[in-house]
Amino acid sequence: MEFGAVRLSRVSSVRRVCLAFIAAIALGANQAPPTPSELYGDLFVEVQERRIFGDNKTFVDAVPLRAPEQIMADYRAAPPADAEALRAFVLANFSVPGIAPTAPLALREHIKALWPDLVRQPRKEVEGGSLIALPLPYVVPGGRFREIYYWDTYFTMEGLRADGEAVLVDNMIDDFVSLIERFGHVPNGTRTYYVSRSQPPFFALTLDLSENTDPVVIARRLAALRTEYAFWTKGERCATKGSPCERVVVMPDGSILNRYWDGRDTPRDESFAEDRATAAEVEGEPAEKVYRNLRAAAESGWDFSSRWFADGQTLATIRTTDIVPVDLNSLLYAMEMRIARGCREAGDQACADGFAARASARRAAIRKYLWVDGEARYADWSRLENRPIPGLTAATLYPLFTGVATPDEAGKVARTTQERLVAPGGLRTSLVRTGQQWDAPNGWAPLQWIAVMGLERYGHDELARQIASRWIDTVDRTYRETGKMLEKYDVEEKKPGGGGEYPTQDGFGWTNGVASALLEKYPGLDPADAP
């Protein structure tokens, strides 16, 4: 009976609450509930005007974690001092859409835990399939990128080495060797539709990440590197002034530099509809020329960017094959120097002298044609206009990374970088907004590494560390908010990047690699150690 009385009492209580709720609705039938701007007043205005979140709808859809009056009392008692503090206050008091709760692991530990998820074991090729088999385990970028990619892999390897994965680093180097022995070069990626082109040639630099001292292995790798060099310079047999051949351009003084190119002039298999749509927008140009330029931009890794556009804004004006890029030629200088060293160590002095001479000639040509002293920058060169291309991009730092620049040039590039390319969240890719992913406001992991290592090489340690610090902050902040490591980031607002042909991918191989390598290099930047 006592139990029944208690139960009856509870039912009556529930009924009273329900009746009160119904009465409240009846009394306020014509009265709208308060909006976020009404509930949060000054806090609301500050969050929206400071653009704490990229989309103004984000905060208004947030759910308070305690009573609004309590939140506002704390806000008024101790107003956040700056945008960072304001954002932290909001995240501490609201569940914000699209932002995950506190990440379970610190950034570096999360990356170490991710590596096994990105490792792929050797698989047999399937007749009719597009995957190219590799002999040894490798790491993929993640997301839609389910195969190994050439230049991504170098930056991934830097992180793997920092995280103690020496065996995996060696495996991937030897996977590259197998590709070069099979195709004469490292394809863009391990798919049949990528074989007609390569990507920025980092294979030479991967060799210095290996701890393998076996002379047989070293000899095989050097032979592969020389084969890759032959791929990039094959056009020397047919190039003339005014008429490039494949990837080779003869400059006005007869010196040799290189360009990006692709052996095919058809729509890319992986972007077929997109390429046909772009070609349809172009008047007065054969579709085949447009396709070749799109493919060449894909070989550059910067697909797509204002670097390749005649008007600096529009994809339909793409002209990649008419441009002599500073990054490619800086990397080929590094390749020539690495072959010269490898030949010297092997006792082949004639080979060493020959490649050292080639490197010296390339360095002179880069400095003659691609250095713009009056603008304190390295630039790409327009073959058609016979002049450096206007517009600053992060590619200006490649000659520092590979040692092409003089100390004076490096100092000027450092000042330009500090004044124009450094953003709150890291290094800007360019200064223009085109909606393409390799333009502002995006920043990319490989370019942060190029900048940091290049600046440090010439003694600009403070600026190098500043870029590293801002980039790590962006990556860590986004990881804590989303639980993800991303392909690219908006370095203006320290949030996920955007633009381009596909949604921003997570995973992400080279972001993991550069973050781990930077944290190994600068332990004091580790967010886990922050007070």
Identify which has the larger pLDDT, 279 or 35. 279
Spatial separation of the C-alpha atoms in residues 246 and 263, rounded to whole Å: 8
Q: What is the pLDDT of residue 18?
A: 46
CB 139 within 8 A of CB 151: no
Contacts of 223 (CB under 8 A, 6+ apart): none
Joined together, the tokens standing for residue 500 give: 């381009």
Told to judge if 236 belongs to the known catalytic residues of this protein, a careful annotator would answer no
Spatial separation of the C-alpha atoms in residues 333 and 356, rounded to whole Å: 9
- 17 CB-contact burial (10 Å; exposed 0-12 / middle 13-18 / buried 19+): exposed
Told to judge if 493 belongs to the known catalytic residues of this protein, a careful annotator would answer no
Handedness of CA 73, 79, 83, 84 (dihedral sign): negative
Q: How would you list the strands of the sheet with 323-324, edge to edge? A: 323-324, 381-382, 387-388
Q: What is the pLDDT of residue 99?
A: 76
Q: What is the pLDDT of residue 1?
A: 37
Contacts of 367 (CB under 8 A, 6+ apart): 404, 405, 406, 409
What residue type is 55 in one-letter code? D
Helices (H), 66-128: 68-77, 83-93, 107-118
What share of the chain has pLDDT > 90, as a percent?
85
Q: Which of 46, 487, 490, 493 is catalytic?
A: 487
**Residues β-bridged to residue 388:** 381
Judged against a pLDDT cut of 50, whether residue 426 lies above it is answered with: yes
| Short-list 79, 187, 165, 71, CA closest to 114 | 165
Mean of per-residue pLDDT scores for the chain: 93
Identify which has the larger pLDDT, 22 or 504. 504
Spatial separation of the C-alpha atoms in residues 206 and 63, rounded to whole Å: 48
CB 315 within 8 A of CB 307: no
The reported pTM is: 0.85
Q: What is the pLDDT of residue 98?
A: 73
Per-residue pLDDT band at 7 (split at 50, 70, 90): very low
Spatial separation of the C-alpha atoms in residues 160 and 175, rounded to whole Å: 16
CB 439 within 8 A of CB 432: yes
Judged against a pLDDT cut of 70, whether residue 77 lies above it is answered with: yes
Per-residue pLDDT band at 95 (split at 50, 70, 90): confident
Q: Which of 165, 303, 327, 493 is catalytic?
A: 303
Q: What is the pLDDT of residue 531?
A: 52
Joined together, the tokens standing for residue 24 give: 């409240």
Domain 108-529, CATH number (from 1.50.10.10, 3.30.430.20, 3.40.50.10860, 3.20.190.10): 1.50.10.10
Q: What is the pLDDT of residue 75?
A: 96
Q: What is the pLDDT of residue 31?
A: 75
Contacts of 490 (CB under 8 A, 6+ apart): 54, 425, 441, 442, 443, 496, 497, 498
Per-residue pLDDT band at 84 (split at 50, 70, 90): confident
Judged against a pLDDT cut of 70, whether residue 8 lies above it is answered with: no
Which residue ranges make up each domain of the chain? 35-99, 108-529
Joined together, the tokens standing for residue 26 give: 């009846």
Per-residue pLDDT band at 241 (split at 50, 70, 90): very high
Range with the poorest average pLDDT among 51-60, 220-229, 442-451: 51-60
CB 93 within 8 A of CB 47: no
Judged against a pLDDT cut of 60, whether residue 10 lies above it is answered with: no
HSE-up (13 A, CA, CB side) for residue 51: 6
DSSP 8-state code for residue 371: E
CB 163 within 8 A of CB 513: no
- Give the length of the chain: 531
Strand ranges for 151-310 from DSSP E: 248-250, 256-258
Q: In Å, how far are 32, 135, 242, 355 from 245, measured between CA atoms?
A: 71, 33, 10, 21
Q: For 122-161, how does the pLDDT look when each residue is reduced to its tens digit (9 = 90+)?
A: 999 999 999 999 999 999 999 999 999 999 999 999 999 9
Joined together, the tokens standing for residue 352 give: 């060493």
Contacts of 20 (CB under 8 A, 6+ apart): none
Joined together, the tokens standing for residue 206 give: 């991967």
Judged against a pLDDT cut of 70, whether residue 300 lies above it is answered with: yes
Judged against a pLDDT cut of 60, whether residue 299 lies above it is answered with: yes
